[in-house]
Each structure stands twice: as C-alpha cells, then as structure tokens.
Amino acid sequence: MAASATGADVRGMFDRIAGRYDRANRILSAGVDLLWRRQAIAALVEGLGDAPVVLDLGAGTLDGAIAILARRPGARVCAADFARNMLAAGRRKPAATRVAAQVADAHALPYHDGAFAAAFSAFCVRNLRDLGLGLRELRRVVRPAGRVVVLEFFRPVRRRRFWDALYTERVLPLIGRAVTGDAAAYRYLPASIAGFLSRDEFQDRLRAAGFPDVRGRELLPGGMASLVVAA
C-alpha cells in the first residue's frame, strides 16, 4: 500500500525525511503552511461543539492534530498515517501527548462506520494509490452530515509562471535537498502536483464518494494551496 498512483514509494520517502520534515516545510513555505492549517482547522471545528471526535488523516508529524486540540481542547483526536517514522517524530512534540496516533492505511481505515464527527487531511490525498477508495473510506468513518476538510496542492488549471515553472519545479527541489539531504522527495512533490486533479475535479470525486455538499477555495499566496470542505 506504500506506492502512489505514480508508482512512487511514498511511505518509504516520508519515513526517510521524517526527522527534517517540519524544518523543510517551514523553510519552503516561509512559515505560511502554519497559516494554511489554521485557516483549514477553523473551517473544520466551526459549529462542532466543545468535545468532537475528529480524525486527522495523513497526520504526518501531528501538526494538524495538535492545532485541532489547540482550537478544541476537549476534542478527542485520532491521527492516522501510514509512515511510522512521521508519527514517531510527531509523538516527540510535548503538545502531542493527547493525540491518539496510529499507523494506518487510508485505503482500509481501522475505525468503525461513523466513528468521527469530522475529519481533517492536509497534503495527503494527492499521495493515495487509489483516490476513490480512500475517499469512500473517509465517507464511511465520518458520520452522515459530518464535515471533512482537505488542505491540498491541486493541479492548477492554468500554469502559473512563478509558482509552477520557477519555484515548485526548480527552487523547491534544491532547497528540499539542502535541508533534508533527499533530492528524490522534493522532485516527487512537483511531479505529484502535476499528475493530480484540479480542485474542481477533486470536488467532483468527493461528490461521487458520497459527500453531497462540497465547496472549495484557494488560499494565499497565489492560490498555491487550496481548501475543500465537504459534508
């Protein structure tokens, strides 16, 4: 289950860079990834109440799970990721002590039907081997009318000269290699974006998976990341 739709060994890649993943994110995004997560989690927890049960799918080093607990201290957050080393790096963070982290495959989640009031996923769905199956699993474990918030890099409808041609394809791999020592991981990132869906196409796939109410918007800067909310 480690291979993506492109055949890349995604789990092995993330396990290799886990120890330097957060540092690379902060440098590559100039810290804007933290702002993106805050905006996404604000949309996630709105109206959920004080003690929701929430899934963080593709939780990585647990930044999203920790941010959910910061907004809803009474929440119960389950964090699932198939890369063991990423979760291990996240568990070392003092704020992660209340996160129930579990190694799990998004294509076969180890949770009961309707177990969660909401689910959050940041920069995960683009890496799924079978997107349709992963979205159906997400629909299964989130209760009817429950909310799903996805933060992702989607394939741009029109090629952006700075973000796509210069930064993502040329500058990002060089910086990623310098920070993590892993050139392949940061060549995979632009390739996975170029080979993924547009935001509109992804929203259609969510509807096909059983989420009737789907909406999305681009986040600054430059629409580099997008936010999709489904229920």
CB of 99 closer than 8 Å to CB of 77: yes
* Percent of the chain whose pLDDT exceeds 70: 87
φ, ψ dihedrals at 212, nearest 5°:
-75, -30
Q: What are phi and psi of 127, to 5 degrees?
A: -95, 0
What's the pLDDT at 25?
Answer: 83
Q: What is the pLDDT of residue 193?
A: 86
At 20, give phi and psi (nearest 5°).
-120, 10
> Quick check: 169 pLDDT over 70?
no
User: Which domains, from first to last, does the chain contain?
Assistant: 30-155+197-230 (3.40.50.150)
User: What average pLDDT does range 133-147 have in this prediction?
Assistant: 97
